């Protein structure tokens, strides 16, 4: 049974469905823990975490693009015709 967008999933459910994102979220959590252990400043923590958040966003968009591309690709055995302009003599 597929859930509608209104039905809320837990974070674990979401990350289990998207392991490529889960890996980056773990990296962010690990980096946060390391910053705390090392006693770094908030500025240092920001410098270390912001690139990972950007990486997470880029991977989320790339994963979405892959899912959309997989849905719109032609089924096996179906020929896809390219659209071309008609040639007119006139």
Residue 6 CB neighbour total at 10 angstroms = 5
Provide the whole-model pTM.
0.67
Residue 65 lies inside a defined structural domain of this protein:
yes
- Sign, CA dihedral 54-9-62-30, equals positive
The number of folded domains in the chain is 1
Residue 49 has pLDDT above 90, yes or no: yes
Higher pLDDT, 2 or 35: 35
Residue 83 lies inside a defined structural domain of this protein:
no
Residue 34 lies inside a defined structural domain of this protein:
yes
Residue 25 lies inside a defined structural domain of this protein:
yes
Residue 90 lies inside a defined structural domain of this protein:
no
């Amino acid at each position: 049974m597929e859930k509608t967008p209104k039905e809320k999933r837990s974070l674990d459910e979401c990350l289990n469905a998207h392991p490529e994102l889960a890996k980056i979220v773990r990296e962010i959590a690990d980096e946060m823990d390391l910053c705390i252990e090392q006693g770094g400043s908030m500025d240092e923590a920001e410098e270390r975490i912001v690139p990972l958040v950007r990486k997470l966003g880029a991977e989320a968009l790339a994963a979405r693009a892959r899912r959309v591309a997989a849905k719109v690709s032609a089924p096996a055995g179906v020929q896809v015709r390219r659209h071309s302009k008609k040639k007119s003599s006139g």
